[in-house]
């Protein structure tokens, strides 16, 4: 099944694997293609490392979600300049 991706603007393969994202999962699967999600997975590691986020803390998890929504163009805006200067897509 294909999805019109809001990140890249193209028709792409829909995400079929479980994301364990709760209510966000349906929105992500409806709006983001597999390749952009894979790009986010690489970026997520950088966000966690660059901002030294503690995922055991709810504020840390919220910060990662905000960066994810901004990266995937799901209506969030965050300053990602610190991460972008170091990001190298695979």
CATH number of 2-84: 1.10.3880.10
Contacts of 44 (CB under 8 A, 6+ apart): 64, 67, 68
Predicted pLDDT of residue 78:
80
| pLDDT-above-70 percentage for the chain | 88
Q: Residue by residue, what is the 3-state secondary structure of the chain?
A: CEEECCCCCCEEEECCCCCCCCCHHHHHHHHCEHHHHHHHHHHHHHHHHHCCCCCCCHHHHHHHHHHHHHHCCCCCCCCCHHHHCCCCCC
pLDDT, position 69: 95
| pLDDT tens-digit readout, 61-73 | 999 999 999 999 9
Query: Domain map of the chain by residue range?
Result: 2-84
Q: What is the pLDDT of residue 52?
A: 95
């Amino acid at each position: 099944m294909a999805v019109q991706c809001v990140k890249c603007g193209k028709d792409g393969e829909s995400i079929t694997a479980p994301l364990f994202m709760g209510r966000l999962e349906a929105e992500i699967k409806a709006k983001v293609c597999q390749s952009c999600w894979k790009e986010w997975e690489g970026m997520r590691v950088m966000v966690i490392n660059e901002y030294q986020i503690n995922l055991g803390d709810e504020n840390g998890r919220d910060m990662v979600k905000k960066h994810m929504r901004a990266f995937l163009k799901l209506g969030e805006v965050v300053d990602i300049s610190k991460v972008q200067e170091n990001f190298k897509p695979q």
